[in-house]
Amino acid sequence: MTTWAHAWDQATGQDRARAAFAAAFGATPPSGVWSAPGRVNLIGEHTDYNGGLCLPVPLAHRTYAALRPRVDEVARMASSWDPTAVVSLELASVAPGTVDGWTAYVAGVAWSLRELGLDVPGFDVAIDSCVPVGAGLSSSAALECSVALALDAVHGLGQSREALTAACVRAENEIAGAPTGGMDQAAALRTIDGHALLLDCRDLSVRHVPFDPAAEGLALLVIDTRAEHALVDGQYAARRATCEEAAALLGVPTLRELTDAPGGAERALATLADGSPGADVRVRRVRHVLAEIERVKQFVALLDAGRLRDVGPLLDASHTSLRDDYEVSCRELDVAVEAARAAGALGARMTGGGFGGSAIALVEADAVDAVADAVDAAFRAQGLTPPAFVA
């Protein structure tokens, strides 16, 4: 039997956060409940920190923050992940390396806003969420962004979505210690329903591209492999460092610049293939990034032309490149992708940072259950923990 992780409707999410708030902090209600979604990225993986393009869509799964300001400088934080504990800390004590676990994402946002010179005193907050945690679906960003929206509203900070995105990225990089690139926070704060977000990470401009698989008789199946992924274990940082090293060797600020002139990518790859120590790895990492940026452009062109049915080969090529050149896939992701394709998916790929986490498959709407069953069966046949399907 397949397992499905369904989203709550927003009224349910808000009620749950209010109930968690009452359980942690007593009868006086919160000032409100704010929320932000998880995401899947359709294509454009490991491009954000290279100034590239990516194309996330919001999930119906959201994180809810019930929050009330305090007059002192204390943050008290409760969550459904650990309902018995309320973590309390002085905001003035928050600095890189001082806070661990999920509270780093919450306290980090307050720290980041205060670093901008904004007046952010203490608060009580209770969190509840239906975004699967550790599934590569951006639960961290959904948490940060729900808190950022809450603090912005209760303190009348008047920050734009773009400014809040930047503050959340800083919280994640500097307080939570994950050197991520910013796609996830932009997805949580700047996406709109029914659209993919074409995010240009060089200038942070966005375009909302209509994305409605159901209108074409299709569905996007999201497969949480339950192989836990982590962005703070060094592998993600190593990929980012290699890209930055290659950009420095090539004399460009980011790898994106290599895609600006015709033939730039080919010339760059030829230059990098100089036989020096590490050259082979640099070539493969850069080849992925440059090809992936091109795939985003092709994917968006197909969406603009109403040809979602034709994006399958781009999804497949993205996965192959992430598996072989970027080396961020894993057995569970490969099994999910191969089983989905074998069961008739038009295309499939890992999504998010990799090393575990989730895959997506574009399938005929009436084949969702059959493809899910086939993926589930493939996991069981290989002795893997069965996946959860996120819907």
Sign of CA pseudo-dihedral 109, 111, 117, 123:
positive
Angle in degrees, 0-180, between the axes of helices 279-304 and 264-272, rounded to the nearest 10 = 160
Counting contacts by CB under 6 A, is residue 143 touching ligand GAF?
no
The secondary structure element, H or E, covering residue 24 is helix 10-25
Q: How far is the CB of 370 from ligand GAF (least distance, A)?
A: 29
**Number of neighbours of residue 1 by Cβ within 10 angstroms:** 6
Amino acid identity at 81: W
How many residues line the site for ligand GAF (CB under 6 A)? 13
Residue with tokens 């007059």: 71
Q: Which window, 5-13, 100-108, 181-189, 213-221, contacts ligand GAF (CB under 6 A)?
A: 181-189
Which residues between 33 and 52 bind ligand GAF (CB under 6 A)?
41, 45-46, 48-49
Q: How far is the CB of 261 from ligand GAF (least distance, A)?
A: 25
Nearest to 377 by CA among 362, 387, 390, 363: 387
Q: How far is CA 108 from CA 69, 130, 138, in A?
A: 16, 21, 16
- Strands 347-351 and 205-210, by their bridges, are unpaired
Out of 124, 128, 184, 325, the active site residue is 184
| Near ligand GAF by CB under 6 A: residue from 128, 184, 325, 376 | 184
Counting contacts by CB under 6 A, is residue 292 touching ligand GAF?
no
Check residue 202 and report its DSSP letter.
T
Q: How far is the CB of 385 from ligand GAF (least distance, A)?
A: 22
Tokens of 130: 């239906």
| Near ligand GAF by CB under 6 A: residue from 180, 259, 318, 321 | 180
Q: How far is the CB of 255 from ligand GAF (least distance, A)?
A: 13
Active-site residue 48, yes or no? no
Which residues partner with 124 through β-bridges? Answer: 68, 76
Counting contacts by CB under 6 A, is residue 258 touching ligand GAF?
no
Q: Which window, 61-69, 175-183, 293-301, 374-382, contacts ligand GAF (CB under 6 A)?
A: 175-183
The answer to whether 331 and 226 are in contact (CB under 8 A) is: no
In the stretch 334-373, what mask flags binding to ligand GAF with x, by CB under 6 A? ------------------xx--------------------
In the stretch 200-239, what mask flags binding to ligand GAF with x, by CB under 6 A? -------------------------------x--------
Question: Residues near 301 by Cβ (< 8 Å), separated by ≥ 6?
Answer: none
Residues that bind ligand GAF (CB under 6 A): 41, 45-46, 48-49, 180-184, 231, 352-353
Catalytic residue positions, numbered: 184
